[in-house]
């Protein structure tokens, strides 16, 4: 019986990657209240406050209501937060519980691991972004001047923050340390990166300083693609965001390739 | 024949302290090989280097002729490892986790094989339970199934029976034997020395990161030259009879137990004749067989069973 069943089956080279991707998607779907519903509710509250109430009395961009201005930023905020949360929490929990060894002993290559974690994170981020976009239709009418550019920027933002999530999960030594990345780095950068105001209304010094905030290029680029106007040329936004994403991917690849803090 | 596992001058240090120091050994295909040693001997570090959990500082590990670092995509498919620490993914049930693990190794789902593992490891009633609802013994049995799900050629079991009850322990070893008879090479560590004696063709003993013995199990046991004859006496003796002093006779248990050394060229028949002449009040006699515990103590000066406070 064992003899017969023990016969080897053909190795399918793409299967380890596809399995890890599937497992990562199942993981966030299994706790969908926390991973999908909560961020959607949060974003909806923002939409209500800035779209249906406060937003009716403010205008920061000529020709557009505040609701129209703020919605692209809120959508991208959902994409960014959830892409980061997915890779960072999944990899850190694996390290914390020790089940990361289940991956280390498999034939998965470091690029396959990065790509599987990244695609699952992008899927979660873009799912949240899409639902927020649908809900936002009740609060603001968006012109969608360059829909493909908007989709590309959203994908680039989720890719970039999925890489950052992997890096944070490797460096963090505790849940507390991991939450620091979110609370003291991502959140301030998002809030100061032009979600709620255009940098053109800032005093010159603060406007110049904002150019060092990578979030500005993502948020402004996404808004530019949707509304047709922005603080920066669309090409600049894509170039800077693309360079940062490539650098973070390289960083994550070096960490996972060397097994830093993963292998003993 | 290409060895199943070939470790050559392997070295690993943590914070300047050598955990594995110049370890070399070879395991032939089809063997059941025991790796024993006290806590901190370097067994788990060695297993971690073979399986890829631990980076290798110096030396090489070859699995069925393939370098474990350079050709890791191939060697990791050849190895199934059950680590000593219980690690599970709380997000999934046993059934789902086994399917996921088969996929990690690029093996398409083999329902018959998965069902066999589930049946033989007694997991059938718990298939759809979440991992955090399982007892320690069940988690350990799941980890054995996980190590075998991709049908490895070399099975590594690091303390597989710790916390598993006697009946299941017996069933597990029976299954490991059958796997071995079907061609799987087995490398195991265990706290239960009688299991190592019964299961292993050869045994290596490590201490302080170094290999201190590597022999066939029977040869290792035969190496021990301190067998004793124990005489249980009906009435206690005050002193060892002068005729037994040459045999290093010792009184124990308030003179009710007389221990006679059989070391060297002592012929047991002559000892029995001498005892008959002395007309001692012997109620019972015992010729204990030396076990691995004694061999181990002899080689390392450490007690195996004291490790980690585990049985």
The topology under which CATH files domain B5-222 is: Rossmann fold (3.40.50)
Smallest CA–CA distance from A7 into chain B, residue = B151
Which residues of B make CB contacts under 8 Å with A? 14, 45, 48, 51-55, 72-74, 76-77, 79, 81, 83, 85, 87-92, 96, 100-101, 103-108, 110, 112-113, 116, 146, 151, 178-179, 182-184
For residue A80, pLDDT over 90 is answered with: yes
- Chain A residues with CB under 8 Å of B14 CB are 264
Give the one of B55, B107, B179 whose C-beta lies nearest to A2's C-beta.
B179
- Chain B residues with CB under 8 Å of A108 CB are 104
Q: Comparing C-alpha atoms, which of A149, A150, A237 is closest to residue A193? A: A237
Q: What is the DSSP letter of B93?
A: B
CB atoms within 10 A of CB B47: 23
Average pLDDT, chain A: 90
Any B CB within 8 A of A264 CB:
yes
Does residue A207 or residue A256 have the better pLDDT?
A256
User: Are B151 and A105 within 8 A, CB to CB?
Assistant: no
Does residue A71 or residue B131 have the better pLDDT?
A71
Structure token digits, residue A219 = 């948020």
- Chain A residues with CB under 8 Å of B54 CB are 263-264
Give the one of A10, A13, A16 whose C-beta lies nearest to B104's C-beta.
A16
Does residue A7 or residue A166 have the better pLDDT?
A166
User: What is the model's pLDDT at position B289?
Assistant: 67
Task: Lowest mean pLDDT of A114-123, A128-137, A152-161, name the range.
Answer: A128-137
- Chain A residues with CB under 8 Å of B81 CB are 105
For residue A4, pLDDT over 70 is answered with: no
To the question of pTM greater than 0.90 for the whole model, the response is no
**φ, ψ for residue A15, nearest 5 deg:** -65, -40
Smallest CA–CA distance from A6 into chain B, residue = B151
Distance CA A59, CA A74 (A): 16
- Quote the longest CA-to-CA distance of chain B: 75
Bridge-based pairing of strands B154-158 and B79-82 is parallel
State the average pLDDT over residues A88-104.
92
Smallest CA–CA distance from A20 into chain B, residue = B104
User: Are B108 and A10 within 8 A, CB to CB?
Assistant: yes
- Chain B residues with CB under 8 Å of A259 CB are 55
Give the one of A2, A18, A103 whose C-beta lies nearest to B178's C-beta.
A2
User: Are B105 and A106 within 8 A, CB to CB?
Assistant: yes
State the average pLDDT over residues A146-172.
96
User: Are A98 and B87 within 8 A, CB to CB?
Assistant: yes
**Which pLDDT band, with edges at 50, 70 and 90, does A227 fall under?**
very high
pLDDT in 10s for each residue of chain B, 311 residues: 899 999 999 999 998 899 999 999 999 999 999 998 888 889 999 999 999 999 999 999 999 999 999 999 999 999 999 998 888 788 888 989 999 999 999 987 788 888 989 988 888 888 888 888 888 888 888 999 999 999 999 999 998 887 777 887 888 889 999 999 988 999 998 777 778 888 999 999 888 899 988 889 888 777 666 677 888 888 888 888 888 888 888 888 888 888 888 776 777 788 888 888 888 888 888 877 666 666 777 777 655 544 443 33
- Chain B residues with CB under 8 Å of A12 CB are 106-108
User: What is the model's pLDDT at position A84?
Assistant: 96
CB contact at 8 A, B231 and B258: yes
Q: What is the DSSP letter of A146?
A: S
DSSP code string of B206-266: EETTEEEEEEEHHHHHHT----EEEEEESS--SS--GGGGGGT-EEETTTTEEEEE--TT-
- The per-residue b/e assignment along B63-96, b for 16 or more CB within 10 angstroms, e otherwise, is bbebebeeebbbbbbbbbbbbbebbbbebbbbeb
Any B CB within 8 A of A123 CB:
no
Any B CB within 8 A of A95 CB:
no
State the average pLDDT over residues A171-200.
88
Domain ranges for chain A: 14-258
Domain ranges for chain B: 5-222, 228-286
Structure token digits, residue A191 = 């809030």
- Chain A residues with CB under 8 Å of B45 CB are 264
Any B CB within 8 A of A32 CB:
no
Kindly report the CATH number that applies to the domain delimited by B228-286.
3.30.70
State the average pLDDT over residues A186-192.
87
């Amino acid at each position: 019986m064992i003899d017969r069943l023990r016969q080897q089956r053909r190795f399918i080279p793409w299967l380890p990657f596809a399995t890890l991707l599937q497992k990562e998607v199942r993981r966030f779907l299994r706790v969908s209240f926390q991973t999908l519903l909560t961020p959607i509710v949060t974003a909806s509250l923002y939409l209500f406050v800035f779209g249906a109430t406060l937003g009716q009395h403010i205008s920061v961009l000529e020709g557009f209501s505040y609701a129209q201005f703020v919605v692209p930023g809120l959508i991208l905020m959902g994409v960014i937060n959830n892409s980061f949360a997915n890779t960072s929490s999944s990899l850190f929990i694996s390290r914390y519980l020790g089940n990361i060894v289940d991956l280390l002993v498999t034939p998965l290559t470091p690029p396959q691991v990065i790509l599987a974690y990244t695609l699952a994170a992008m899927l979660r981020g873009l799912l949240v972004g899409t639902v927020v976009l649908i809900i936002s239709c009740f609060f603001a009418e968006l012109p969608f001047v360059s829909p493909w550019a908007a989709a590309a920027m959203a994908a680039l933002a989720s890719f970039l923050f999925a890489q950052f999530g992997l890096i944070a999960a490797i460096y963090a030594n505790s849940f507390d340390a991991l939450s620091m990345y979110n609370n003291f780095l991502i959140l301030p950068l998002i809030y100061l990166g032009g979600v709620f105001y255009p940098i053109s209304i800032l005093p010159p010094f603060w406007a110049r300083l904002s150019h060092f905030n990578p979030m500005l290029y993502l948020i402004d680029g996404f808004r530019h693609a949707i509304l047709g106007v922005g603080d920066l040329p669309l090409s600049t936004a894509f170039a800077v965001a693309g360079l940062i994403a490539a650098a973070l991917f390289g960083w994550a690849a070096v960490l996972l390739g060397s097994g830093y803090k993963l292998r003993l | 024949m290409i060895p199943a596992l070939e470790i050559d001058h392997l070295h690993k240090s943590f914070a300047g302290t050598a955990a594995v120091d110049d370890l070399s050994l070879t395991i032939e295909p089809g063997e059941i090989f025991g790796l024993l040693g006290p806590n901190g001997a370097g067994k788990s570090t060695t297993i971690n280097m073979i399986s890829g959990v631990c980076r290798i500082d110096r030396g090489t590990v070859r699995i069925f002729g393939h370098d474990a670092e350079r050709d890791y995509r191939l060697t990791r498919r050849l190895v199934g490892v059950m680590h000593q620490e219980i690690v599970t993914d709380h997000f999934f049930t046993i059934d789902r986790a086994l399917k996921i693990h088969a996929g990690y190794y690029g093996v398409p789902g083999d329902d018959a094989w998965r069902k066999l593992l589930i049946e033989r490891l007694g997991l059938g009633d718990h298939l759809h339970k979440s991992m955090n609802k399982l007892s320690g013994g069940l988690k350990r049995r799941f980890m054995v199934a996980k190590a075998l799900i991709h049908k490895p050629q070399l099975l590594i079991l690091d303390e597989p029976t710790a916390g598993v009850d006697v009946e299941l322990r017996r069933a597990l070893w029976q299954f490991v034997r059958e796997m071995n008879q079907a061609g799987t090479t087995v490398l195991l560590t265990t706290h239960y020395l009688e299991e190592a004696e019964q299961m292993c063709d050869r045994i290596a003993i490590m201490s302080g990161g170094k290999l201190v013995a590597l022999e066939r199990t029977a040869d290792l046991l035969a190496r021990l030259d301190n067998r004793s004859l124990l005489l249980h006496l009906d009435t206690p003796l005050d002193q060892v009879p002068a005729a037994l002093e040459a045999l290093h006779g010792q009184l124990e248990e308030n003179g009710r137990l007389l221990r006679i050394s059989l070391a060297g060229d002592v012929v047991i028949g002559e000892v029995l004749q001498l005892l008959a002449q002395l007309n001692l009040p012997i109620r019972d006699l015992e010729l204990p067989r030396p076990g691995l515990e004694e061999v181990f103590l002899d080689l390392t000066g450490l007690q195996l069973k004291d490790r980690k406070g585990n049985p």
